Amino acid sequence: MAAELQARGVEVIFVGGQRAELELVPAAGFELRQIRVEGISRTNPLKAIRAVARSAAAVLAARSILAELRPAAVMGGGGYVAGPVGAAAAMMGIPVVLTEADSHLGLTNRLLAHLAAKVCLAFPIKGRSAPRYLVTGRPGPPIATDREAARARFDLLEGETCVLVFGGSLGARSINEAAVVAFGDAPFRVLHVTGSSGFASTLSPRLGYDVREYLEQFGEALLAADLVVARSGGSVFEIAAYGRPALLIPYPQAAGDHQAANAAWMADAGAAVVIADSELTAPLLARTVGELLDSPSRLAGMAKSSRQLARPQAAHDVAGEIIAAANKR
C-alpha cells in the first residue's frame, strides 16, 4: 500500500510498535514513528488491564504524532497499533480508512469501523455492506511473472514438479513435521519454508527437498511451484494472485476461526482442498498431494479457479479510497 500511494505522489509515514516493523519499515525506505502498545489478552485479565492502560496512553502519543505530521488521512491495517492511532485521528477530524485482511472484522476494526470513512474488506463479510464497507481484496506485493527465471532461482529442471510448503512467517509445527515425513521419499521437488520457529528442527530428508527459514522474494516461490501446501491466513490472496492450486490446513486457534473461513472461500470456488489441523497426518498429507499431482486436469481446473479469485487491483482500489477520503476533507 505504501508503494502504491508513493507512486501517486503521496508521502507515507508509518506508526508502529516494537515488532517486525522496526526492521521492515526502515528497510523499505519509509519513516517509522513509534508508540508503545500491546494486544489485549483474551486469557489473562491482568495483562488485558495493562494493555488497555497502555492503549489509553498510546492515544495521547498518537495525537502528538498526528499534530506534528498533520496527515491528510490515516490508514489502519487492523492490528492493535492501529487502534490508538485511528482513535486519535478520528478525534482530530482526520479521515480514517481501514483495511481488513481476514474474513471477519478483528477487534481493532470493529471498534473503529463506525469512525471510518471507508472499511476496505479482503472478503465479503455478512452484514458489512455499502456504503461504509467495500470489498477490494487484500493488497499484496507486485506479481512476479517470469516463471522460467523463478524456477531457475530454485534450481528446478524442466519438467520437474515442485510442491511449495509453508506455514507463515513464524511457521506451523504440525505442517513442518508432517511434510518432512510425507514427502521424505516423494518423486517430486519440495520447497519448504519453515518460518523462524521451525527452521532449526526441520531437517531436509533427501536431495531435492529444499528447506528454507524465510524467502525474501516469496512471490517467485509461488510462481515456481505447481501445488501449494499451506495455512490459510492472508496468504490465500497471494496464492490466488499466482493462480496456484492449494492444499490448505487452517490454523485452529486463529481469531474468529478466520483461517477456516478463508480456506472454505478457496475450497468453495474449487481452488483448494482442505485438511483440518486435527486430522493432519503424514500419510494423509502424502496421499492427498499424490492424488492431486496424479490428476493434471484437476490441478489445471483448481489453478483456473484460483486465478479467478484474485483481485490484482486491490492496492490501487484501496489507495483510491484513501485519496478520496483525504480530498473530501
pTM for the full model? 0.84
pLDDT at 134 over 90: yes
For residue 102, name the pLDDT band (cuts at 50, 70, 90).
Answer: confident
Q: How many CB atoms sit inside 10 A of residue 184's CB?
A: 14
Say if residue 329 is exposed, middle or buried (CB neighbours under 10 Å; 0-12, 13-18, 19+).
Answer: exposed
Task: Print the SS3 string covering the chain.
Answer: CHHHHHHCCCCCEEEECCCCHHHHHHHCCCEEEECCCCCCCCCCHHHHHHHHHHHHHHHHHHHHHHHHHCCCCEEECCCCCHHHHHHHHHHCCCCEEEEECCCCCCHHHHHHHHHCCEEEECCCCCCCCCCCEEECCCCCCCCCCCHHHHHHHCCCCCCCCEEEEECCCCCCHHHHHHHHHHCCCCCCEEEEECCCCCCCCCCCCCCCEEEECCCCCHHHHHHHCCEEEECCCCHHHHHHHCCCCEEECCCCCCHHHHHHHHHHHHHHCCCEEECCHHHCCHHHHHHHHHHHHCCHHHHHHHHHHHHHHCCCCHHHHHHHHHHHHHHHC
Asked if 213 contacts 203 with a C-beta cutoff of 8 angstroms, the reply is no
For residue 278, name the pLDDT band (cuts at 50, 70, 90).
Answer: very high
Residue located via cell numbers 528442527: 201
**Mean pLDDT computed over every residue of the chain:** 93
Structural domains of the chain, with CATH: 2-141+312-328 (3.40.50.2000), 147-309 (3.40.50.2000)
pLDDT at 300 over 90: yes
Q: Of 298, 276, 164, whose CA–CA distance to 223 is shortest?
A: 164
Q: What is the CA radius of gyration of the chain?
A: 21
Rounded distance, CA 244 to CA 247, Å? 10
The confidence score (pLDDT) of residue 54 equals 78
pLDDT at 64 over 90: yes
pLDDT in tens, 12-34: 999 998 888 899 999 999 999 99
pLDDT at 52 over 80: no
Rounded distance, CA 18 to CA 74, Å? 20
Backbone φ and ψ of 298, nearest 5°: -65, -45
pLDDT at 56 over 90: no
pLDDT in tens, 169-190: 666 899 999 999 999 999 999 9
Q: Of 28, 19, 23, whose CA–CA distance to 1 is shortest?
A: 28
Q: Of 160, 143, 168, whose CA–CA distance to 307 is shortest?
A: 143
The confidence score (pLDDT) of residue 171 equals 64
Q: Of 31, 39, 265, 256, whose CA–CA distance to 135 is shortest?
A: 265
For residue 99, name the pLDDT band (cuts at 50, 70, 90).
Answer: very high
pLDDT at 207 over 80: yes
pLDDT, mean of residues 125-129: 91
Query: In the chain, pLDDT over 90 holds for what percent of residues?
Result: 76
The confidence score (pLDDT) of residue 277 equals 95
Terminal-to-terminal C-alpha distance of the chain: 21
pLDDT in tens, 216-244: 889 999 999 999 999 998 889 999 999 99
pLDDT at 47 over 80: no
The confidence score (pLDDT) of residue 39 equals 74
The confidence score (pLDDT) of residue 170 equals 61
